[in-house]
Amino acid sequence: MVFRKLIHVNACSRVIRKLKRILIYGTCLRDEYPEVLNEFSKDHVLLAVCLEEEHMNMVGFKLATIINSCKPIEIIVLTVDGSPHCVQLHMMVEECLKLVPGINVKHYVIYKGKTIEIPSKAIKTARYLTKVKKLLGE
């Protein structure tokens, strides 16, 4: 596996143009869940992001540029569950799709060692605390 930081990758990367599949993952997964990262890495360009290090606006603009330039067919977002920084990564990818639509995106989180797919609707809903409050019946 080749580890690259999304923010450092060329926006018109040859490897992304060739494979057309991107796995964006929380950097900590390399240490915390290397087996899960390895499972998801097949036929994907791995791009690490830690939103504790970089601002989501910078990473999001870079990702939108990569999507526009390289035309990937799939993006997978893989993070731990419960991290306020990682949830922003999922939200950021959804925002990029508003600028550059038409990409198949899948969201996954690791919770108690299990990988769980999260629907885009859940990501979009989580942005609005009033909607979450209503769903909780409060």
Token pair for 72: 């990937």
What is the pLDDT confidence band of residue 2, given thresholds at 50, 70 and 90? confident
Each residue's pLDDT tens digit, 76-98: 999 999 999 999 999 999 999 99
Q: Please report, for residues 1, 5, 23, 71, 115, the alpha-carbon distance to residue 35 in angstroms, rounded to integers and kept in the order given.
A: 12, 19, 15, 28, 11
Each residue's pLDDT tens digit, 25-57: 999 999 999 999 999 998 999 999 999 999 999
What is the pLDDT confidence band of residue 1, given thresholds at 50, 70 and 90? confident
8 Å CB contact between 123 and 94: yes
Q: Please report, for residues 37, 38, 92, the alpha-carbon distance to residue 64 in angstroms, rounded to integers and kept in the order given.
A: 23, 25, 10
Each residue's pLDDT tens digit, 108-119: 999 999 999 999
Q: For the chain, list the domains and their CATH numbers.
A: 4-135 (3.40.1050)
